[in-house]
Structure 1
Amino acid sequence: MMENILFVLAAYLIGAVPFGYLVGKWHGIDLREHGSKNIGATNVGRVLGKKWGLIVFFLDFLKGFIPVYLFRQMLGGSVEAMDYASACWFISCIFAVVLGHTFTCFLHFKGGKGVATSAGALFAISWMIGGGALLAWIVVMLLTHYVSLASMIAAVAMIVAALYDLDYMSDFSMRPSALIVLVLVLLAALVIWKHRSNIVRLMNGTESKSLTRKKDSSRS
């Protein structure tokens, strides 16, 4: 048990590494004072350029993927074969790494919106679940060019993909893997909640599209 506790704590600390903030500092700026004032990959892309946005997305993706994948392997490798105890530890690891990103202890518990880190965790759970969310993100992004809208739709799509991948479309019996679906519902709710300001801007028609770099008057 102690090994599992330490791993979950490590997952939180890994998730808490604020790569966007660190990249901004490396460029001599505090991203919390520029653009949308978020330390996530989208704001990095808008403030520092698409290249740096993609780099931060990849780093945030990896910090979600690596801990969850390693913990899954420690627990036997198969999500479907987990018992309830293993499933509880597994979802604790998933939630810890995403909470680490969204509420990082290194920045007074104010982090990113959790999209890239959640995506990494999804692919660590199942390539089908991660792929389903990614496909939804790409389709919405191509149709609307709104990163925020694509991210929220992808958050919902991952639940549908999980229900299909874990065979809950035809069999609704309670199994340990149901806990995985539950944590994905909670993660989707977290992602959407973190986008609440974007929702207001979408409704007002003032939301920024794509990753177009914008001039920031506050930037020296």
Structure 2
Amino acid sequence: MEESRDSWIWFLVKLRDALSIDDLYSWTFMSDRQKGIVEAVSCCMPGANHRFCLRHLYSNFKKLFKGKELKDVVWVVGKSYTQTDFVRYMEVIKSISRDAFEWLSRIPPDTWSKHGFDPLVKSNDIINNWTESFNAWIGEARAMPIVEMLKDIRKRWMQKIYYRHKASIALRSDLLPKVQAIIDKRSREARAIKKAIGRKQGKSSDFAQFWRQSVIWA
């Protein structure tokens, strides 16, 4: 089936019905910017979040604007967690190429930069490489008849869930290992902080104490 607005609407309606999607606000879609998909998601899934894969977005960007400097800054902009950083690095892009800046400015920031993502969505992914990883993971099952394919995928998921459950039992905290490692690293760095420079109303500001209390929320 050729990709178009109508074909995407057909697919999304089938998906919505198959998954019994009622609360659209709790769903986030990530895609490239292929013909018709933006309009289709808006039509069939009003209220759902829709992100663009930054890898695909940059693939289109680099056809018009080449150079490693621009490439590096575009990825920094996409990974920016605050509006301040977003604006700062967009200005860097403008200083390199005003046309590149204007091209990116036409794309809503909440579809491709982390700072604009809905804070209620517990995912900060900006690329959908995991879909390609999934396709590689199911391997030969893709060529099986539909029933056998689903059985094979189900077995793979059961095995993955089992092994992840075993790994979770061995965790030393309620946090994932990568998150715990970040907090541990910042806690060690905080020990070197003595006292902030500056005074307010005659009282010194103990930044070190504030930092030590805050790292757990990082």
TM-score by length of 2: 0.25
Select the structure with the greater relative contact order (CA < 8 A; seq sep ≥ 6): 1
Structure number with higher helix proportion: 1
Structure number with higher strand proportion: 2
